Structure 1
Amino acid sequence: MEKKLGILGGGQLGRMMITPCIDLGVEVYFLDPNPECSVSEFTAHLTVGDFNDYETVLNFGRTVDVITVEIEHVNVEALEKLEKEGKAVNPSSQVLRTIQDKGLQKEFYQNQNIPSPDFRLIKHKASITDFPIVQKMRKGGYDGQGVQILKSATDFDKAFDAPSVLEDLVDLRMEIGVMVARNAQGEVQAFPPVSMDFDPELNLVKYVVCPAQISEELNKKCIQMANSIAHKFELVGIMAVELFVTKSGEVLVNECAPRVHNSGHLTIEGTSISQFEMHIRSVMGFPLPPVSVTKPSVMLNLLGEMGYEGEAELWSETDVLALPEVYLHWYGKKTTRPGRKMAHVTVLRNTVEEAKSIADEIDIDLKVIA
């Protein structure tokens, strides 16, 4: 009998996992609180319920054989119980518990001798005395929320009055992302490192470039670090490893997400296997093939335009989507609001520079409005 896969979360990440599940013959089920979530158009196996509720997650998990996530903020106590009942939870409840709390995550890196920016933990903002500093709420941050730079004492009032991680500012040269997958047999495969450019106001990824324009030595260092982290977590599944490269050449771990990730979306067209298929293979115990770049690519996030809120509509003055090797992925969200992730576009070209030039044109022309 084929094993059933249950996914906690039915957003765009779950939506993009449906096709590889079909290709691999995996029967997939979803749990999401929103009956109109992104996967709802494409599955008859959607349970509407809260993935943070103990009983809901427990009951859902008992109907499938393998449980995975498309968002890390889920009820880990229920997942622990399911593990004790013999269900495969990939990634494990322990990995999710560590990642959910940025304080535990930082302590894990420290204990495992994984280089990461210096930090200290606080309970209240009254403990913030030194500036400039990066403040990260220990729990609940997602898509750029819960992280801010406090440049001077004048920023004290806007500090989060919640348990937080305080990190030293890094003399940053660039941010690199590595998707790395590991299965229960201990096989590990890393994707080619990508570089990430962020929207400074929204603190969200705007562009992802593959392959990252870095030296071969730095490329190897980033992959080795990602592989090491996957092994130390005893990961089963895929993980996004976000790295800081300093101006002095140090490579430091910023944070990790044990799931498919925005920085890996361009793998659908840009690499020999997508992050979504690799994740399904990992959690289901299938072999993990090596990954290569099929063609240089740039991904652009399409966010809800400022000033628009309501029923989502894609607007373009010119027909940029008619260009060759330009791929739109619409997330099926009914409504838009400023800064909401609504879609992404991946551009393939013979060089990264050509792909970035086309992506810049699309950024100017293609808008999500209401």
Structure 2
Amino acid sequence: MKAFYGDLKLGILGGGQLGRMLIQQAINYNVTVKVLDPDREAPCRKLCDEFTVGSLQDFDTVYKFGKTVDLITIEIEKVNVDALEKLEREGVTVYPQPRVIRLIQDKGLQKQFFKENDIPTAEFQSITNVADLKHAHIKFPYIQKLRRDGYDGKGVYKVIDETYLDKAFTHPSIIEEWIDFEKEIAVIVARNDDGEIKAFPMVEMEFNPEANLVEFLISPSTLPFELHQQAEEIAKDIAGKLKIVGLLAVEMFLDKHGRILVNELAPRPHNSGHQTIEGNVVSQFEQHLRAIFNQPLGDTDCLNNAVMINLLGEAGHEGPAVYQGIEKALKREGVYIHLYGKALTKPFRKMGHITVVDADRAKAIEKARYVQDILKVVS
């Protein structure tokens, strides 16, 4: 491969905020970055060296784009894997590997991988059609998830009893037992082609009950050290068994009985790692680049207590984005604002994030709650 810091052309499939923050780090390494995205107003459009408008799911579009770069990575899993496999056969480096993307695109295959590799996860059953639900061996209540294309709470349906079956998904899905969890936690792990693996410290997450996506994240977790070790070892074990090259976000539940159960995987930078930009020695974005460039992985230690807040579009507002409360937020020490460059807001759209750092954990949380209350995205 060409030198990662000079003449290498990196292609990113997806031009959203994850790609934007990846580019911000790639600039430090003097890497040429090309981006493919269907939205001509995508957040990456002004930061990359070359921006191409096109479908991420069209074989010819992805293949043609891939022939112009040396290495391809992703910021979203919903991409044409057939094209990536052909590019890989023809000598283009693709990280994460197409086989990993294909597995993670399908929640059924993902859960089967957990089962075959003794990775702790909730009991599940594959569902082909609604008729299968009437003979399910998973007891009510349970969660139904579409096997493909679900994200940020979409494609997820809670089935409480038989009366809910009328609105159940009709496409191939899985159902899994309802977990009465204590905490939602996550570990981001990286692996390079030499097999070096490093995990970021475990974080705790709070979800927006209406949008069902991460709204508030605290790093590092204050759960017992043994749970930290267990969660990080699970994440490392998954990365090793997948032999993934790049970043892997492992979302988990801590249930009421103290068990850690893996929920889902994401083979890319992830919302649960945004706080690493200010809160850790190395950020998740730099770590992903180090991994796919097969460089030594960075120090994942926390520098401080860090709280990340997703800046979501306000309910009832749709149109040109107006940010309220930025000046007030920035008056508080340790507040860092990241806006994603999206011109239009709509309810619960991810418009940016804020990280609050403080040596005192309680103060960090207090400041984060204050910022969450005053900083709004309206139209």
Same fold, judged at TM 0.5 (above): yes
1:266 to 275, 278, 287: 275
Q: Quick check: 2:105–2:148 contact (8 Å CA) kept in 1?
A: yes
Distance 1:28 1:287 in 2: 21
Q: CA deviation at 1:25?
A: 2.4
Q: In the alignment, is residue 178 of structure 1 matched against residue 187 of structure 2?
A: yes
Q: In the alignment, is residue 157 of structure 1 matched against residue 162 of structure 2?
A: no
Distance 1:52 1:318 in 2: 41
Q: Percent identity?
A: 48
The one-letter code sitting in structure 1 at the alignment partner of 2:213 is L
Q: CA deviation at 1:19?
A: 1.9
Q: Quick check: 1:209–1:352 contact (8 Å CA) kept in 2?
A: no
Q: Quick check: 2:33–2:49 contact (8 Å CA) kept in 1?
A: no
Residue deviations 1:317-361, cap 9 Å, x none? 971222111000000011011011101000001122211111111
Residue deviations 1:231-265, cap 9 Å, x none? 01111000100011111111111010000000000
Q: CA deviation at 1:44?
A: 3.4
Distance 1:147 1:338 in 2: 18
Q: In the alignment, is residue 75 of structure 1 matched against residue 80 of structure 2?
A: yes
Q: In the alignment, is residue 131 of structure 1 matched against residue 140 of structure 2?
A: yes
> How many pairs align?
370
Residue deviations 1:170-226, cap 9 Å, x none? 121111110100000101110011000011111100101100111111101111111
Partner of 1:242: 251
Q: Quick check: 1:52–1:75 contact (8 Å CA) kept in 2?
A: yes
- Secondary structure of 1:356's counterpart equals helix
Distance 1:288 1:352 in 2: 27
1:348 to 357, 367, 377: 357
Partner of 2:370: 361
Between 1:16-25 and 1:73-82, the stretch displaced more is 16-25
Q: Which runs of 5 or more structure 2 residues have no equivalent in the other structure?
A: none
2:56 to 42, 51, 60: 51
Equivalence map 1:84-123=2 (5 Å): 84-123=89-128
Q: CA deviation at 1:158?
A: 2.1
Partner of 2:68: 63
Q: Which runs of 5 or more structure 1 residues have no equivalent in the other structure?
A: none
Q: In the alignment, is residue 194 of structure 1 matched against residue 199 of structure 2?
A: no
Partner of 1:11: 16
Q: CA deviation at 1:287?
A: 1.1
- Secondary structure of 1:174's counterpart equals strand
Between 1:145-154 and 1:175-184, the stretch displaced more is 145-154
TM-score, structure 2 as length reference: 0.96
- Secondary structure of 1:260's counterpart equals coil
Partner of 1:167: 176
Q: CA deviation at 1:24?
A: 1.8
Q: Quick check: 2:124–2:175 contact (8 Å CA) kept in 1?
A: yes
- Secondary structure of 1:289's counterpart equals coil
The one-letter code sitting in structure 2 at the alignment partner of 1:169 is W
Partner of 1:207: 216
From the superposition, tell whether residues 132 and 28 of structure 1 become closer, same or farther in structure 2 (CA, over 3 Å). Answer: same
Distance 1:8 1:317 in 2: 31
Q: Quick check: 1:313–1:368 contact (8 Å CA) kept in 2?
A: yes
- Secondary structure of 1:86's counterpart equals coil
Give the alignment's Cα RMSD to 1 decimal: 1.1
From the superposition, tell whether residues 318 and 38 of structure 1 become closer, same or farther in structure 2 (CA, over 3 Å). Answer: closer
Partner of 1:328: 337
The one-letter code sitting in structure 2 at the alignment partner of 1:82 is L
Q: In the alignment, is residue 145 of structure 1 matched against residue 150 of structure 2?
A: no
Between 1:350-359 and 1:212-221, the stretch displaced more is 350-359
Q: In the alignment, is residue 276 of structure 1 matched against residue 273 of structure 2?
A: no
Q: In the alignment, is residue 38 of structure 1 matched against residue 47 of structure 2?
A: no
From the superposition, tell whether residues 222 and 29 of structure 1 become closer, same or farther in structure 2 (CA, over 3 Å). Answer: same
The one-letter code sitting in structure 1 at the alignment partner of 2:57 is N
Distance 2:311 2:367 in 1: 14
Q: CA deviation at 1:28?
A: 1.2
Q: Quick check: 1:210–1:352 contact (8 Å CA) kept in 2?
A: no
Q: Quick check: 1:238–1:259 contact (8 Å CA) kept in 2?
A: yes
Distance 1:184 1:177 in 2: 23
The one-letter code sitting in structure 1 at the alignment partner of 2:190 is A
Q: Quick check: 2:124–2:177 contact (8 Å CA) kept in 1?
A: yes
Distance 1:152 1:124 in 2: 17
Distance 1:226 1:175 in 2: 15
Residue deviations 1:22-71, cap 9 Å, x none? 11222111111111100112223111111111001101111111110000
Q: Quick check: 2:332–2:367 contact (8 Å CA) kept in 1?
A: no
Residue deviations 1:92-120, cap 9 Å, x none? 10000000000000001111111110000
Q: Quick check: 1:318–1:365 contact (8 Å CA) kept in 2?
A: no
Q: Quick check: 1:98–1:104 contact (8 Å CA) kept in 2?
A: yes
Distance 2:220 2:174 in 1: 31
